[in-house]
Structure 1
Amino acid sequence: MSRYNEYGQPVGEAVSGWSRRALPERRTFLGAYCMLEPLDASQHAASLFSAFSQAADGRDWTYLPVGPFPDLAAYRDYLAAAASSQDPGHYAVIDLASGDAIGTLALMRMDPGSGVIEVGHVTFSPRLQQTRLATEAHFLLMRYVFDELRYRRYEWKCDALNAPSRQAALRLGFQFEGIFRQALVYKQRTRDTAWFSVIDSDWPLLRAGFARWLCQDNFTAQGQQRCTLAACRAPSAG
């Protein structure tokens, strides 16, 4: 229902009781399958580089602003700089079964005044891609942003040509919002950026779906899902 000001102009809905939100803290998040730790080059570089080195080629770095890295020393230098950043704030994804760091992701473009934040720099090794741990890693950050920090909007952006990233955003429950043309120049090429978001009113249904999907009962003894994430968040799934 539209609201109008004293000049007869349509204006957005009132946000009652709004206050500036806190910035994310550098802390650890524990799940059933993985743990997120603030990135630490001395602690995580060797494990991460080893995990990334299992890829057959450098295609996982094509749509990232950095990489691939020729050796551990170069990767450690990058990781040290990333770990010192406050925005983006990077996390290592730890496999609880092995204790290894097998990927990274970050909270970034933080706007606590409006309650908006983005997940980015998602860099998952072959050991992490398309696993329960990967989904849980995203769930842990989303739960922190919405349930604890009480932000209103959680964004995902990627190169519009990055089909796997766009598919991952939709699978996780983000809604596609459009393409920003010629938004960036990186790696000496232009980038159109695809925008996706989850807002606070979306979150209760998504949270319930994540909980159902991540339940041990949703997987066979061979680790195959019984119910897709999309089906788990369907209203009838409850």
Structure 2
Amino acid sequence: MSPSLPEVPHPAGALVAGFQPPAAPGPDLIAGLHVTLERLDPAHHAEDLFQANAGHDQLWDYLGYGPFADLEIYRDWQRSMSELRDPFFYALRDHRGGRIGGLAAYLRIDPGNGVIEIGHIQIAPALQRSPAATEAISLMIGWAFAAGYRRVEWKCNARNAPSIAAANRYGFLYEGTFRQHMVVRGRNRDTAWFAILDHEWPDLHHAHQTWLAPGNFDGQGRQRLRLSELTGALRQLP
């Protein structure tokens, strides 16, 4: 019997065996230890977040909307967003005080290719640098891969240093910058692209869970290990 020949890779790429397009985002709640993501509902979310954002107009510098002059204008904007399926918005409820402290959304949802993006992230100062804020994004990444997506993307203005730092901290890999990609508020935007792939998530998820564990924080809530240390070590692996 002749020995079998090794399979020759197809020039167009590897076969994606068994792939089934995942469902579009849809759960009304995604709950974690520190935060619950609630499907955006302006009747329950607008006032909390408007108050939490008050006096911090810089929060909108890299977004295509805001700041909002008054609560009614902001509530109307939330209402228009809550009616959409893409982007699909969540409000972030911090378990510490039970109030809404931010928004995030799935967008550019492409089930046919198993690709989904996380964006429209707007975190009020009271929620920034908290376990709840970190867990919110971790939960969104985790839901996407559990649903069957192959790729979760993160994109931001290439001048947005805090967003780039956050992408690296979560374990997204930088894939390049699209020059003159968009015009936002009349200004040029070069867009930095990042992604996590499905086979990369299990180790990153373990790193996220290690960071979020109660034992990683001392009595004053200070972290013992940085998430960037945990995910950075993974990114250095061959």
Taking structure 1 as the reference length, the TM-score comes to: 0.92
Tell me the equivalent position of 2:98: 99
Structure 1 distance, partners of 2:17, 2:85, is 30
Structure 1 residue matching 2:38: 3-state secondary structure: strand
Give 1:1-238 correspondences, 5 Å limit: 3-5=8-10, 10-53=11-54, 55=56, 58-147=57-146, 149-233=147-231, 234=233
Structure 1 distance, partners of 2:202, 2:220, is 30
**AA aligned opposite 2:102:** G
Deviation of 1:26 after TM superposition, in Å, equals 3.5
Does the CA-based 8 Å contact 2:114-2:150 persist in structure 1?
yes
Structure 2 distance, partners of 1:54, 1:216, is 32
Does the CA-based 8 Å contact 1:3-1:11 persist in structure 2?
no
Structure 2 distance, partners of 1:43, 1:198, is 32
Which deviations, in whole Å up to 9, do the C-alpha atoms of 1:33-60 show, x marking residues without a partner? Answer: 11100000111000010111153xx111
- Tell me the percent identity: 43
Which deviations, in whole Å up to 9, do the C-alpha atoms of 1:7-27 show, x marking residues without a partner? Answer: xxx221111111211111142
Deviation of 1:96 after TM superposition, in Å, equals 1.2
The unaligned stretches of length 5 or more in structure 2 are 1-5
Counterparts in 2 of 1:51 and 1:3: CA distance versus 1, 3 Å:
farther
Q: Give the RMSD, CA atoms, in angstroms.
A: 1.5
Which deviations, in whole Å up to 9, do the C-alpha atoms of 1:181-206 show, x marking residues without a partner? Answer: 11111111111111000001110110
**AA aligned opposite 1:71:** D
Deviation of 1:230 after TM superposition, in Å, equals 2.9
Tell me the equivalent position of 2:3: none
Does the CA-based 8 Å contact 1:180-1:194 persist in structure 2?
yes
**AA aligned opposite 1:226:** R
Structure 1 distance, partners of 2:183, 2:148, is 33
Structure 2 distance, partners of 1:215, 1:182, is 41
Does the CA-based 8 Å contact 1:2-1:12 persist in structure 2?
no
Does the CA-based 8 Å contact 1:47-1:101 persist in structure 2?
yes
Taking structure 2 as the reference length, the TM-score comes to: 0.92
Q: How many residues align?
A: 228
**AA aligned opposite 2:83:** S
Counterparts in 2 of 1:11 and 1:226: CA distance versus 1, 3 Å:
same
Deviation of 1:231 after TM superposition, in Å, equals 2.9
The unaligned stretches of length 5 or more in structure 1 are none
Name the stretch that deviates more: 151-160 or 12-21: 12-21
